[in-house]
Amino acid sequence: MCDLPAAEADKMTYDLYREGYYYYGKDYAHKGSTFSFTESSLLDLMSFDARNNADLISIPLLMIAGKAAIHCI
């Protein structure tokens, strides 16, 4: 599972990573999860932009992204 000690996770600068660590790595971790990813999937995540093809969505869409979400129009 996730080998990072909680004390180290608490030192993370960004809330997004710290909260993700606790949510996905500790509180709601799947028993079969390794909490790791491949290099190729990381490259896909880094290049992902949710705004690509957003104009294809023809109905209202509500997206919720956590307590610190930024509202953009």
Query: Which SS3 state, helix, strand or coil, does residue 17 take?
Result: helix
Cα–Cα distance between 43 and 63 in angstroms, integer?
24
Task: Please count the structural domains in the chain.
Answer: 1
Task: Reply yes or no on whether the pLDDT at 3 is more than 80.
Answer: no
Dihedral sign for Cα atoms in the order 26, 28, 34, 38: negative
Cα–Cα distance between 54 and 65 in angstroms, integer?
17
For 52-64, the pLDDT digits (tens) are 888 888 888 777 7
Q: What pLDDT, on a 0 to 100 scale, did the predictor assign at position 32?
A: 85
Task: Reply yes or no on whether the pLDDT at 1 is more than 60.
Answer: no
Boundaries of domain holding 9: 1-73
Task: Reply yes or no on whether the pLDDT at 73 is more than 60.
Answer: no
Scanning the structure block, which residue is given the tokens 């109905």?
Answer: 59
Kindly state the tokens that stand for 3. Answer: 């080998």
Q: What pLDDT, on a 0 to 100 scale, did the predictor assign at position 48?
A: 82
